[in-house]
Structure 1
């Protein structure tokens, strides 16, 4: 009998939009950046359960509207589940309220609830960033940043240069990841030498790290030279941030929906929950 094939893990895919068109795809990139910034501020000052769950529901609804397949999500390694379990177990030992009696033993679940809340907050923020990555073309980021930062030009802030730098960094990031992956795979295919002493193995490992870093710098410089030639052929770096872009009617409707939903969640968090949790 043949051994069962090992299930291949889905890698993390960043800054590459999911193909297709949808309501979320058609939104202006600046609208998505404003929503992410506003929700980030909301969850920074009011990281309660109601805002976290509300934003989580918004992320799930947006993923359904954008037709994001389940295969786009990366696989979760087993060690991460173990670390979450270990963190929750450690947080349980804090013994904060609420306290539940198990016979003669009292266990406080306050630390565990705080750990779960922070974990849920992290997952929601990662999902929010993933939605922007899955539904936004990298070429749309620079014009959006330049338009949103237009009021800062009166303060002599180089908004266009900043937007171009951010756009180039976002463009280069996926390419460099692919190059690093290829270099690492090529290194693993090299025949391994059998070294008897631990000192020789450590020295060989350091030599391989230096070789890999040198190859990585060479590839990054080559990619930068190619990108510079391509930008020059297309009219210079100023053309990256000069593309016409702006909000439309659907963007204003989306912003209004986000404001109403997040405002209602904040009102419930500040009024209903403190009243219900007050001692009688």
Structure 2
């Protein structure tokens, strides 16, 4: 459980660490759109090359990325498995009732696997190389035009930042509770469905209580520091958009051009 690194920050001095958080957020969301432009093996090979290049530029070991992928790999494989079993088209290899294993199903399963893994890797790069407070400022600045529509941008960005920040803490506490229950002789994964659900109750209750306590402590800390919702506040940190940030966005457009050239019409 504590192997999930999405939402954690790794201090470093890489090029990606020095990019403006707005550039990284825009590039990350744009990459999600770019993933759907790939429709053949050439485009996916090119996207894999780009993904590993970005991971290398973060100065974070590849082992850490793959270790963070392990907690999610079964969910990804389950999605791929459903895609393979229930997608028909092309040459049929196995057909039994509603279950069909076909050429298109295998190809689409591979595409979906690549999209999920690359999406997780790029999202992890953004969080590993960006401080949570910088993510808050970046989200706040990107959503600032919504203030004209009377949307509480400050509150939204704060909630997103707090949620992202406390994902690792919640996972760490879950692992501690699991270890404590195992030390008391509890065996997870055994028995029928009802028995397994009963074993989860001693896990959920401490996590729920600790989450409420943490939320109350944070609310008290914010109140002591004078935080008031809806009030205009100054910022100690200033975001500076530099030439390297513009180059990063231009590289994403170049990636789009290359994919458009490689994709099959």
- TM bracket (short chain): 0.7 to 0.9
Correspondence for 1:219: 210
Q: Quick one: distance in 1 between partners of 2:160 and 2:2?
A: 27
- Cα RMSD between the aligned structures? 3.7
Which of 41, 44, 57 aligns to 1:65? It is 57
| Matching of residue 121 in structure 1 with residue 115 in structure 2 | yes
Asked if the contact 1:92/1:112 (under 8 Å) is kept, the reply is: no
Asked if the contact 1:51/1:262 (under 8 Å) is kept, the reply is: no
Q: Quick one: distance in 2 between partners of 1:39 and 1:192?
A: 43
Correspondence for 1:104: none
Asked if the contact 1:30/1:144 (under 8 Å) is kept, the reply is: yes
Give matches, 1:71-110, under 5 Å: 71-75=63-67, 76=70, 80=74, 87=81, 94=88, 96-97=90-91, 109-110=103-104
| Matching of residue 160 in structure 1 with residue 151 in structure 2 | no
- 1:138 and 1:241, CA in 2 relative to 1: closer, same or farther beyond 3 A? farther
What is the DSSP-based 3-state SS (H/G/I as helix, E as strand, rest coil) of the residue aligned with 1:73?
helix
Give matches, 1:161-176, under 5 Å: 161-176=155-170
Correspondence for 1:16: 8
- Structure 2 residue runs without a partner (length 5+): 94-100
Q: Quick one: distance in 1 between partners of 2:180 and 2:90?
A: 52
TM superposition shift of 1:214: 2.1
Which of 256, 262, 265 aligns to 1:268? It is 262
Q: Quick one: distance in 2 between partners of 1:241 and 1:47?
A: 43
Q: TM-score, structure 2 length as denominator?
A: 0.77
TM superposition shift of 1:27: 0.7
| 1:158-209 superposed Cα distances (whole Å, 9 cap, x missing partner) | 111111111111222221221121112111111469xxxx99x967x66553
| Matching of residue 26 in structure 1 with residue 29 in structure 2 | no
- 1:191 and 1:117, CA in 2 relative to 1: closer, same or farther beyond 3 A? closer
